[in-house]
Amino acid sequence: MMSNIVLMPILIPFFGAIFLLLLPRKVVIQRILALITSIVLILANIYLVYYVYQNGIVAVTLGNWPAPFGISIVGDMLAVLLVTTTSLILLATLIYSFYSIGKPRERFLYYPAVLFMIVGVNGSFLTGDIFNLFVFFEVMLMASYVLLVLGGTTIQLKATVKYLLINVIGSAFLVVAIALLYSMLGTLNMADISQKISEIHGGNTGMITVVAVLFLFVFGLKAGIFPLYFWLPGSYFAPPIPVLALFGALLTKVGVYAIIRVYTLFFYNETSFALPLLSTLALVTIVLGVIGAISYYDMKTIMIYNILIAVGVILFSVSLMTRESMTGAIFYLIHDMLIKGTLFLVIGVIIAMTGFSSIKKFSGLMSVKPSLGWAFFIAALGLAGIPPLSGFIGKLLIIEGAFSVQNYVGGIVVLLSSLFVLLSMIKIFSKGFWGEKKGDFKLDIPYRKMMVPVLFLLVISVGYGIFSEAMYPLITKAVDPLVDPSIYIQAVLGE
């Protein structure tokens, strides 16, 4: 029965969202219930991390069917760390929403939509069935459509149309990829797929490569990898800050996680084409992300291009398929979720105070709110990977992993990207916070209340770097099934 606890990260937000749908106009009650749901979710996830650390991978097959015939939900350490990080970002974003999203949006089912999106995100992390990965993707995407369009501004409606079309195309290709895989192997269980792919020899290996590239196309579209990122800057610019924080911290990371899971479980032997392709595209993504980040003066746009840089860094590390590089990728993935959530919320406070997203429109903010300036500065250093903050540990492991397999070009690109990330952040800090005071600052916003979730995430992010040694056993346990798929297979199939 204890194995059923792996369902909690999906069931808690699901029932929370259902209950909130019954109270559509009661804004205060919606806030309280959403907050309680997120706190209960954090506690359940922390217990789940402890349980998996003590007992190993937790797998449950729904309906009492034996694997691979039933639908499997699998909680390995990677999945439970990601759902825990997701729940922390959810709590911070909900608290921030109370003071910024506005009652009109709150009355139109904002909180149920957020919780349904978390159902899709957590389900994507935990599913052990490739078709149900598609199902949870769709749950996540449908909720994100609602969040993107809520408010009905012209820029939101335009962005939603583009976002909707791109994701419908991606979903269609995902179904095709799953159908091809099923036609060859006759199974949808991810552990069973891994086992059967390893037994394939001869003519079918070419089709496996085709399916690997199809999955890279689909998940790369959702992650924002080159050349499939074209939709992301425009679509992510449109929604209000709390929604943007959720999108930036979580949605692209689900695509990254999906690539990590299928490539380490299914396609780890595809070294002739699929993995070199992933490596090349990841490096190009870093370069183009850097160009975007240093070219713009809009804070939101700069941060959106920094999302692309992080996606490229993580996926380049994954493509190396070594224990060291994979450890760096997982460490950096969790760091990036936390720091992106922090920085988008900080930028939201700046926009609320100045009325502008462009740093050309204001300056001298440090003289008004120095605490905001230092919070941004610390978060910016974390994003750039300055020691002892969490970005440094992940980048160091990734660069070491690249150099250990003689991929010096990739390692140098990742190293240089840190300098350009720092440059893009210092540009915001120097132009927006320093210099002569310019612009009308709104000091009547609920500044202290808005800073609570910012500091909450910032403290966790800083602690994640400073106490990285304490986190290392958990990260190592998360990496084990990635470098040795038999651990995952045995936990699910019991073979």
313 pLDDT tier (thresholds 50, 70, 90): very high
Q: CA 463 to CA 288: how far, in whole Å?
A: 31
Residue 231 CA, distance from chain mean position: 17
Average pLDDT over residues 337-357: 89
What separation in angstroms does the CA of 216 have from each of 97, 186, 220, 257?
A: 34, 21, 5, 12
CB contact at 8 A, 354 and 295: no
- pLDDT over threshold 80, residue 35: yes
Q: CA 382 to CA 173: how far, in whole Å?
A: 36
pLDDT tens digits along 478-492: 898 888 888 888 888
pLDDT tens digits along 70-98: 788 888 899 999 999 999 999 999 999 98
Q: What is the pLDDT of residue 40?
A: 94
Q: What is the pLDDT of residue 271?
A: 67
Q: What is the pLDDT of residue 495?
A: 55
2 pLDDT tier (thresholds 50, 70, 90): low
What separation in angstroms does the CA of 306 have from each of 209, 288, 312, 340, 343?
A: 30, 10, 10, 9, 11
- Of 119 and 62, the structure prediction assigns the larger pLDDT to 119
Residues in contact with 278: Cβ distance below 8 Å, sequence separation at least 6, in sequence order: 216, 259, 263, 315, 318, 319
Dihedral sign of CA atoms 329, 263, 176, 214 in order: positive
Domain count, the chain: 1
Amino acid at 111: Y
Residues in contact with 434: Cβ distance below 8 Å, sequence separation at least 6, in sequence order: 363, 364, 366
pLDDT tens digits along 240-258: 889 889 988 888 899 899 9
The closest alpha carbon to 60, from 9, 116, 120, belongs to 9
204 pLDDT tier (thresholds 50, 70, 90): low
Q: CA 175 to CA 326: how far, in whole Å?
A: 28
pTM for the full model?
0.91
* Half-sphere exposure at residue 352, Cβ-oriented, CA atoms within 13 angstroms: 26
What average pLDDT does the chain have? 86
Average pLDDT over residues 201-215: 74
Length of the chain as a residue count? 495
Domain that holds residue 125: 3-493
Residues in contact with 266: Cβ distance below 8 Å, sequence separation at least 6, in sequence order: 190, 193, 194, 197, 208, 212, 215
